[in-house]
Structures are given as structure tokens and as C-alpha cells.
Amino acid sequence: MATVTYKQKCMRCKTNYVMSTWRDKYPVCFDCQKNELAQEIADPEMKKFFDIPFSFYEKSNFLRDIKIKYLRFGSLTEKQIEAFKNTVAKFREEYEEPVEEKPKKKKKTSSLT
Ligand SMILES: [Zn+2]
């Protein structure tokens, strides 16, 4: 079943429209989220945790949500941390070029002549 979405003005800037569902009590547009995401994180461990390519945040509503939750409340549950890690791992597989190139196995070229 499809979730009904409707256009609503961003609660933050009250300029941009956001597609939201009835569950979104506080719809915020991507521009406003971006500003929020750019905030400095004091905890070095969490800073490292959230240090992923920004394009991942652009692609994933979930990753943005987790980071914003952390910025707002200062902590995350273990479940949220796990889910975040899993999502990032998936994104890395999908979008990132492997840094180390595995040595290519030499293909035997069989000469048919
Ligand atoms: Zn906004």
C-alpha cells in the first residue's frame, strides 16, 4: 500500500515545499536539513562515525534523519547506530570505488590456432 504524501511548507524556512506524510510532524526541506547536517560534532568518536561522503546523506533520508536526531538529542540508541552502519556499508559497496585494487588474475589466453 502506498503512503499518501502531500506537499507541505517546510517548518524551518517556511519557503520550500516538502513532500511529507501524515507522520511527519515537522517536515523540513533538504536545504534546511543540509544546514543542520553541517553542524560541528564535538564528540570525536561520533564525528568519525558521521564522517561519510556527503552524497550518502543526499541519497538517504534515513542517514540524514539519524544524524539530525543525534544533533538534536546528543545520543543514539544501539539500534540506530547499527542501522546507520549497515546502511553506510551498503552505500559504500554500491557507490564507492574500492580504494585498493585487487591484483587481477591473469586470464589464460588460449590460442586456438
Ligand atoms: Zn526549509
Q: How far is the CA of 32 from the centre of ligand 1 (A)?
A: 4
More confident site: 75 or 5: 75
Report how far residue 62's alpha carbon sits from residue 58's, in angstroms, rounded to the nearest whole number.
Answer: 10
First to last CA, the chain: 61
Residue 13 near residue 2 (C-beta atoms within 8 A): no
Burial class (CB in 10 A: 0-12, 13-18, 19+), 33: buried
The three grid cell numbers given for residue 45, joined into one nine-digit string: 568518536
Ranges of each domain in the chain: 1-38, 40-96
11-58 tens-digit pLDDT: 999 999 998 888 777 888 989 999 989 999 999 999 999 999 999 999
Number of other CB atoms surrounding residue 10 within 10 Å: 19
83-94 tens-digit pLDDT: 999 999 999 999
Q: How far is the CA of 25 from the centre of ligand 1 (A)?
A: 14
Q: How far is the CA of 17 from the centre of ligand 1 (A)?
A: 8
